[in-house]
Amino acid sequence: MEAWLDDLFWTYQNLVVSLGINGLLALSMYVVLAAGQLSLGQAAFMGLGAYSSVLMTLAWGWPFWLVLPASCVAPVAFALAVGGPTLRLSGVYLAIATIGMGEVLRAIYLNVDALGGALGLSGIPEQASPLLIYAVLAAALAVLWLVGRSGLGRAMEAMREDATAAEATGVDVRRMRLGVLVASAVLAGLAGALSAHATDFIGPNDYGFEPAVTILSFALLGGVGSPFGPVLGASVLTLLPEVFRDFANLRLVFNGIVIVLAVLFLPRGLLAWRMPRRAA
Amino acid sequence: MADAAPRRVSLLATSGLTRRYAGLVAVDGVDLTVPEGGVHALIGPNGAGKTTLFNLVSGLVAPSSGNIRFAGADITRLAADRRARLGMARTFQNIRVFGAMTLLENALTGLHPRLTSSLVGIVARLPAFRREERHAVARAREALALVGLASRAEERAAALSYGDQRRLEIARAMAGAPRLLLLDEPAAGMNPAETVALSALIRTIVGTGTTVLLVEHDMHFVMNLSDSVTVLNFGRRIFSGPPAEARADPGVIEAYLGTKVAARLAGR
């Protein structure tokens, strides 16, 4: 029985890892969408977390328990640096600006030899166990759940519904926008470090425009009424290509169709349930 | 400037407040003084600049020149949320409740500036955070009770009727016990019975110690309720004083009825 379970696990380990990583990325998207910001920098944050953590491991020989928290530093620094100028933007302008930043970073990974160029970096020790990945995902869900029920959660939803009214009510909209961007950077940075240390190879194209849109589709499909929606969306969009493995090269087409269908018929996502916004 | 300043500090005072848009001066050198306590009305014909003045006072629009003092402090450069923290709350002409949220959550949002728990306190569910949240919920329920919506606390705001959404907006604004409440056309779209109830509500609010400044078109409503009236026309202040005098002021009559009618009334 145990051997059978072991077998199944080894066969599907990649999928198990992807489910956890994509769940984290979906939450990274969720925190900005929940506050009404269409910021698409999650793949870029993930790339920064992945590349910086791999450098710490390979070049500096840091232990993984130190690498994982430190992998948030570069994404957070980047979020703080770009936050000032970009958060004056909103809607589609913010989306375009953040996609552009992702492309700039991708060009840097491609052209800096120390980062492996187009070949990427390989030989990364597989130190991120599925257990660790799911523990981080569970912790992130718990934190977002608790924060969502507090005054911060109410402020985020108020901003999403009507930023002007939220500001007049006393919500520091600018600070909150920067705050959710930093939270998004932390979650995506962790996802980047974990995935890099679960797969032994990273390359510049793992963090470009295509993954940015895929991460957005997780949250759109799942819905942003609670943090569980995006994780559900990520699970569905990660599992479906496995089920339809023969059509793997149509994955992007499929994601596009899912986004269109979700926007048309499920505007509040698969999980339309809206979490309560009070803790007492 | 200094010699013109009143000895008793007024709650709100604008001086020379101006907002220019391309080809239009929406608010033109307005001096508005609101003493602490009572109901004060801002009236004027359509396009007189009343809502722009409200937006300047609450910080949603930046002035081109002039300054604003609130409770003795210069707030001209403060963002809207900082002004809310100082005790200024407002409602909007086009209702802006948070539709997906429950009534209670809307009222709780009005208490946002009073919540001080840190991220750590929230995530660890420290006793101080839970106490604060319980206290906030109690305050939010009081605010809903004030406007008569306590029994519907768990309903979604979008499900409320127009008049009830206006009341909810007032509850959200009152939850934080503001010193100054700005009401932008609170009686708009209300039937006579609702308007009477609104007058009573505003009197109750003033009774709690909150000063009310309102913009309104319903003259009967304004004249019965207000302690003082400021009249704007084409962005300029043309009158400031008790409501009874406003009704008799030739400049005010002219602004509302046009020069011909004003001349005929004066000739009579």
pLDDT digits (tens, 9 = 90+) for A62-116: 999 999 999 999 999 999 998 888 878 877 888 898 889 899 999 999 999 889 9
- Considering only alpha carbons, which residue of chain B is nearest residue A279? B133
* A34 CB within 8 Å of a chain B CB: no
First to last CA, chain B: 41
Q: Is B5 exposed, middle or buried (0-12, 13-18, 19+ CB in 10 A)?
A: exposed
Question: Which residues in B have their CB inside 8 Å of a CB on A?
Answer: 58-60, 79-82, 84-85, 89-90, 92, 96-102, 104-105, 108-113, 115, 117, 119, 122-123, 125, 129-130, 133-134, 136-137, 172-173, 176
Residues 6+ apart with CB under 8 A from A1: none
Cβ–Cβ below 8 Å for A171 and B109: yes
Single pTM value for the model:
0.92
Minimal CA separation from B180 to chain A, in Å: 13
Distance, CA of B17 to CA of B56 (rounded, Å): 8
Which residue in B119, B122, B172 is closest to A169 by CB distance?
B172
ipTM: 0.91
Region label for B66, one of left (φ > 0), alpha (ψ between -120 and 50) or beta (otherwise):
left
Cβ–Cβ below 8 Å for B105 and A151: no
Per-residue pLDDT tens, chain B, 268 aa: give them.
444 444 456 999 999 999 999 989 999 999 999 999 999 999 998 889 999 999 999 999 999 999 999 998 999 999 999 999 999 999 999 999 999 999 999 999 999 999 999 999 999 999 999 999 999 999 999 999 999 999 999 999 999 999 999 999 999 999 999 999 999 999 988 889 999 999 999 999 999 999 999 999 888 899 999 999 999 999 999 999 999 998 888 888 888 877 766 677 776 5
Cβ–Cβ below 8 Å for B125 and A274: no
Task: Give chain A positions within 8 Å (CB) of B82.
Answer: 172
- Cβ(B237)–Cβ(B30) below 8 Å: yes
Distance, CA of A80 to CA of A74 (rounded, Å): 10
- Considering only alpha carbons, which residue of chain B is nearest residue A278? B105
Minimal CA separation from A20 to chain B, in Å: 22
Cβ–Cβ below 8 Å for B112 and A155: yes
C-alpha distances in Å from residue B51, one per residue of B40, B179, B232, B235:
15, 20, 11, 10
Residue with the two structure tokens 């939450």: A27
- Amino acid at position B9, single letter: V
Task: Give chain A positions within 8 Å (CB) of B154.
Answer: none
Cα four-point dihedral sign A199, A105, A53, A28: negative
Delimit the domains of chain A by residue range.
Answer: 10-208
Region label for B102, one of left (φ > 0), alpha (ψ between -120 and 50) or beta (otherwise):
beta
Which residue in A168, A274, A280 is closest to B60 by CB distance?
A168
Distance, CA of B15 to CA of A9 (rounded, Å): 73
Please give the backbone phi and psi of residue A226, each rounded to the nearest 5 degrees, phi first: -155, 165
In sequence order, what DSSP letters do the residues of A17-81 get, joined into one string? HHHHHHHHHHHHHHHHHHTT-----HHHHHHHHHHHHHHHHHTS---HHHHHHHTTHHHHHHHHH
Q: What is the DSSP letter of B159?
A: G
Cβ–Cβ below 8 Å for A154 and B84: no
